[in-house]
Structure 1
Amino acid sequence: MELFLLIEEKLKELSINFNVVEHEPALTTEQADRFIEGLEGVRTKTMFLTNRKKTEFYMLIMDDKKRLDMKKLGEIVSANHIKMVSENTIYEKIMSQPGIVSPFALMNNKEKDIKVYIDKEIIEEEYMTFHPGTNEKTLFIKTVDLLKFLESIEYDVNVIEI
């Protein structure tokens, strides 16, 4: 089943309201932002990262305009040489693709071995936006509901200052 349909089904099961904007394929965060201009919600980027030995995995959600200091993140998570995971690893772990990674894909992580982090800077925002398994849609969800969703699939969220 298409990831978006699984997401939609799970959110409805949890009685979580959300809105979806359909648009042309967004190949960059800047392009995605233009498609949803004027709508309320912090524009996020979700990065899927690993340590040097590929023994630890991290999903980081932050404002899409912010640049990540990999060294600082490494210090926060107590890991050396944090880097982006490969396209193959993205698919193996969460059955997603580069450019459309979102916390919703964690439903596909059977091992539950990915640690989730959200930047403190955006945790107080009322709404967040994500690509729900496709770059042709943007999903708007209340931050409290995103946390409820993650809890329902057995993920703890770590709020960090990066």
Structure 2
Amino acid sequence: MPASREDLFAFLSASGISVSTRDHPAVFTVAESTAIHEEIAGGHTKNLFLKDKKGSIFLVVALHDAEIDLKTIHQKIGAQGRVSFGKPDLLMEVLGVEPGSVTPFALFNDREEQRVTAVFDAAMMEVDPLNFHPLENTATTTVTRDGLIAFARACGHEPLIVAVSGN
């Protein structure tokens, strides 16, 4: 059973990772979240749930306006051949979230099986703080970039920090 927002917050607190969260109406796309960007300071993001030809799964996290070339990203992230978007049922199975709620905080639901490779765009990691959904798209949680890395590691994931956006 996927973790709840409360489970996530308890884990963050127990891990000594400070966050702040703001509730808002549900947003399903980066375009829908534009108004929230003005209300919440920090880098706003997008998350791509991808899989390669061999079934390896990647969660690519970048700034909301980053341009990512899906035809060449496999070369940057170590995928076997071109990648495609993972299907909603695989997303729920592996990360425990619905489309529109994809977030690096969903690595919390992949602590045991370790099926996902977390990829954080290098340009995003230059911004502090960063904003993500807390497993649901009705809120935004702000965390420092160091807190994000500490969270991923506490979930057993060593994130790849790679320049996936731009040229």
Which blocks of at least 5 consecutive residues in structure 1 are unaligned? Answer: none
Q: Does 1:15 align with 2:20?
A: no
Give the conservation status (yes or no) of the 8 Å contact 2:42–2:128. Answer: yes
Q: Deviations over 1:105-142 (max 9, x none)?
A: 11112310211111111112111111111111011110
Which blocks of at least 5 consecutive residues in structure 2 are unaligned? Answer: none
1:143 & 1:119 partners in 2: Cα distance?
12
2:79 & 2:47 partners in 1: Cα distance?
20
Aligned residues: 161
Give the conservation status (yes or no) of the 8 Å contact 2:3–2:96. Answer: no
The alignment partner of 1:45 has SS state of strand
2:148 & 2:29 partners in 1: Cα distance?
23
Q: Give runs of aligned pairs for residues 83-94 of structure 1, distance below 5 A.
A: 83-94=84-95
Give the conservation status (yes or no) of the 8 Å contact 1:128–1:142. Answer: yes
Q: Does 1:103 align with 2:99?
A: no
Compared CA separation, residues 2 and 79, structure 1 to 2 (3 A):
closer
Letter in 1 for 2:4: L
Query: Which residue of 1 is the match for residue 69 of structure 2?
Result: 69
Q: Deviations over 1:47-86 (max 9, x none)?
A: 11100242x1111110111122112211122421201100
Give the conservation status (yes or no) of the 8 Å contact 1:33–1:43. Answer: no
2:106 & 2:79 partners in 1: Cα distance?
25
Query: Which residue of 2 is the match for residue 154 of structure 1?
Result: 156
Letter in 2 for 1:61: V
Letter in 1 for 2:57: F
Give the conservation status (yes or no) of the 8 Å contact 1:21–1:36. Answer: no
Q: Let me know the Cα RMSD of the aligned residues.
A: 1.5
Please point out which of 126, 140, 143 is paired with 1:141: 143
TM-score (norm 2): 0.90
Percent identity over the alignment is: 20
Q: Does 1:59 align with 2:59?
A: yes
2:3 & 2:57 partners in 1: Cα distance?
24
Query: Which residue of 2 is the match for residue 4 of structure 1?
Result: 5
